[in-house]
Amino acid sequence: MKSSPWLIAAALAFAVALPADAAEKLKVVASFSILGDIVSEVGGDHVEVRTLVGPDGDAHTFEPSPSDAKALGAAAVLVENGMGLEGWIGRLVTVSGFKGERVEASKGIQPLAWKGGEEGHDAHEGHDAHEGHDHAEKAHGDEGDDGHDHGAHAGHSHDVDPHAWQDPKNGIVYVNNIVAGLSAADPAHAADYKARGETLSAELAAVDARLKAEFAAVPEARRKIVTSHDAFGYFAKAYGIQFVAPEGVSTESEASAADVAKIIRQIKAENITALFAENITDPRLLNQIARETGAKIGGALYSDALSPPDGPAPTYLRMFENNGADLLAAMKE
């Protein structure tokens, strides 16, 4: 039985259409896994996402490879956190020859100051997010005349806390900035990006409302947690929690013996019972603190990176659900 010319033509057209459609996807590079997930959620089938710092990876200490530069050079959009988090990004952009749309996901967010270990986090007075980002970039070395990224391995500015994604309300700002960036690079699908962004924003708002109610039900004296490094300032402010960390806002900071002794005294004096490691940090310091105080290590929180797909925090939304549930369980013990 002979195939009809129409069927043959249709089959050929379909076969040709598949790679063409795939080739039309917007190529996006995201600096780390949390941003990569937001881009994937907003972009859906219209985007092809390359994440530089993957699950359980540390953006503070990341060193880009030649393949990362090649991928960025071929991309239409780069999504980065800003606030000085990615001290290596400027050099990578230069080396890659990237000429596409550059999206600063945290743009418009009031940054929190990092007070060098003092209790609490307050917003910079009179500085908007862009100013905070500029300050951090200067502190961490825009490229000098020699073409090198000065301070690229020094993390980010210790004046600004870059972990703004740890508040779901800020996450909505991230979503809106990413929607705008994808739409600018790919106007044909702007309506889809907007609709998907609105869905994700509504989910983040719902998570925020639930966490507010759940943490408010915990007595204030129980809302005290020790973590590895100071990544939860925005989460703390959103839900009235006190986080104590032996390291600073960058995982490249090293806690001094005096810092550790101070935290041990505070844990004992305030009867803090829960310690949490983070998925990107070495737990040995917390293990030492636990031995000396009798406090219990409640597990791992996801701060700067998501888990692999088979882990408890494979998406941005699941990160909040996992961290919130583990923290609440520890506070109620």
Q: Rounded to an integer, what distance in angstroms lies between the CA atom of residue 95 and that of residue 98?
A: 8
Q: How far is CA 257 from CA 133, 195, 235, 288, 292, in A?
A: 31, 51, 27, 12, 13
Mean per-residue pLDDT, 112-139: 43
166-184 pLDDT tens trace: 999 999 999 999 999 999 9
**Spans of all domains in the chain:** 5-204, 210-332
Q: Which residues of 280-300 are buried (b: 16+ CB within 10 A; e: fewer)?
A: bbeeebbeebbeebebebbbb
The pLDDT of residue 239 is above 80: yes
pLDDT at 185: 98
Q: What is the CATH code of the structural domain delimited by 210-332?
A: 3.40.50.1980
Question: Do the domains at 5-204 and 210-332 have one common CATH topology?
Answer: yes
Q: Does CATH place domain 5-204 in 3.40.50.1980?
A: yes
Mean per-residue pLDDT, 198-217: 98
pTM as predicted: 0.78
Residue 62 burial (C-beta neighbours within 10 Å; 0-12, 13-18, 19+): buried
Mean per-residue pLDDT, 325-333: 89
pLDDT at 22: 47
The pLDDT of residue 281 is above 90: no
The pLDDT of residue 7 is above 60: no
